[in-house]
Chain A
Amino acid sequence: DIQMTQSPASLSASLEEIVTITCQASQDIGNWLAWYQQKPGKSPQLLIYGATSLADGVPSRFSGSRSGTQYSLKISRLQVEDIGIYYCLQAYSAPPTFGGGTKLELK
């Protein structure tokens, strides 16, 4: 199985700050990487697919990038509504695997 190592596990940041979360894949997954945001008591919401494509309705302050097998989610100017837990997902090969999650809190 492909392992997705997500970091950091938790992150405290201030409003308007730039936030970056990363996922390291254990092998090549091309652009088969998606990012999700989950708020307490809610289902995950798609933010980024294909490593860099912004999902419909997602604010442009979110962006995704790839460098080899390392994938990053960047929030350019943190807003209150961005607080939650973020997960990456690889769907390149079965079984699909999620990163362990990053809990983003306000400082």
Chain B
Amino acid sequence: QIQLVQSGPELKKPGESVKISCKASGYTFTDYAMHWVKQAPGKGLKWMGWINTYTGKPTYADDFKGRFVFSLEASASTANLQISNLKNEDTATYFCARHNIGTTDYFDYWGQGVMVTVSS
């Protein structure tokens, strides 16, 4: 069955970096783009951007340009999100989500989420 399994929770200090992984299984990794979505505590869902899993090209939403990097380990069917120079406002749960392209587009499978806490 199709699964996206993300890495575990992280506790970081301001200014540090964090790398989150999303390992896909049950399908051909390079056939579907991967998106990243942020959910701050008690808040809604915010799209961060996506990565073309075939070419490795990332696209970032305006609010996530600069400190955020999407990358791949295609041989391991894994997408990564790295956040540098962490700020308190980066405290959130980060989800990866598979992009299904059919008659319409939508995100069909999601990882379980990674809680990142930034605190001094």
Contact = CB atoms under 8 A, between A and B. Distances in A.
Interface of A: 30-34, 42-46, 49-51, 55, 87, 89, 91-92, 94-101
Contact of B103 (A50, A95, A96, A100): A50
Contact of A98 (B46, B102, B108, B109): B46
Per DSSP, chain A at the interface is: loop
B107 A34 contact: yes
24 contacts: A33-B104, A34-B107, A42-B113, A43-B111, A43-B113, A44-B110, A45-B110, A46-B106, A46-B107, A49-B104, A49-B108, A50-B103, A50-B106, A55-B108, A87-B45, A89-B106, A91-B105, A91-B106, A94-B59, A95-B47, A95-B61, A98-B47, A100-B44, A101-B45
Contacts, number: 64
Given A43-B112, A44-B95, A101 B107 contact: no
Interface residues of B, number: 23
Contacts of A100: 44
Interface in B84-119: 95, 97, 100, 102-113
Given A34-B106, A95-B47, A98-B44, 14 more contacts: A32-B106, A42-B113, A44-B97, A46-B109, A50-B102, A50-B104, A51-B104, A87-B45, A89-B45, A89-B106, A91-B106, A91-B107, A98-B46, A101-B45
